[in-house]
Amino acid sequence: MTASDDHLSSDDIWESSDEEFVSRVPDEEFYGKKPESKENNDISSLRRIHAKQGYLAGLSSKKEETLQEGFDAGYPEGGELGIAIGEIVGSLHYFVSLPLDDDKLEEGRKLLERVKKELHIKKVLNDLYFDEDLRLKEGKHPLITKWEKLVNELLDS
């Protein structure tokens, strides 16, 4: 054994095996901040346990609050849409109840039947018309624009 053999670097002391220092935690199971340098597997294991506990607690703690924030943001927008759709439905519904001539009544009834399908909540609150943040892609809902015109034409006829 030579003098140089006796010399031990810090790596020799702290990194007896590279494998010991390579995190075995796959990315999809990693929670929290990634360490900047290699980390002992025991530490890594502790991180995994405690960070995962924190992650799950963080998920549920924020969820209730953000659900409510989302609801509060959507409720008035849904209310405005409901009122606009209701106006179209109400006008037509009243129109077909009146003692008018047969042609006008028939036209109104046909439109009312279409409205039941085309302005159903499933058709109005549809991904087609909203962006990923659930904001209308166009300033005004296209179905409302279309149907307001149709109904006003009927009422003015």
Segment 25 to 84, residues that bind other proteins, using CB under 8 A: 31-33, 43, 46-47, 49-63, 66-84
CB of 24 to other proteins, least distance (A): 16
Burial of residue 13, with CB atoms counted within 10 A of its CB: 0-12 exposed, 13-18 middle, 19 or more buried: exposed
CB of 10 to other proteins, least distance (A): 21
Which of these ranges, 1-9, 11-19, 21-29, 112-120, lies near other proteins under the rule CB under 8 A? 112-120
Pick between residue 14 and residue 135 the one whose CB is nearest to other proteins: 135
How far apart CA 87 and CA 81 sit, in angstroms, is 10
Pick between residue 12 and residue 36 the one whose CB is nearest to other proteins: 36
Binding mask 119-148 for other proteins (x = CB under 8 A): xxxxxxxxxx----xx--------------
Pick between residue 15 and residue 87 the one whose CB is nearest to other proteins: 87
The residue type of 15 is E
CB of 100 to other proteins, least distance (A): 8
CB of 8 to other proteins, least distance (A): 27
**CA-CA-CA-CA torsion for 81, 85, 90, 92, nearest 10 degrees?**
160
- Which residues, other chains included, contact 115 with Cβ-Cβ below 8 Å and sequence gap of 6+? 88, 89, 92, 147
Q: Output phi, psi for 130, to 5 deg.
A: -120, 150
Residues 82-101 that bind other proteins (CB under 8 A): 82-100
**Three-class DSSP category at 23:** coil
Pick between residue 12 and residue 156 the one whose CB is nearest to other proteins: 156
Per-position DSSP letters for 96-115, written without gaps between them: HHS---HHHHHHHHHHHHHH
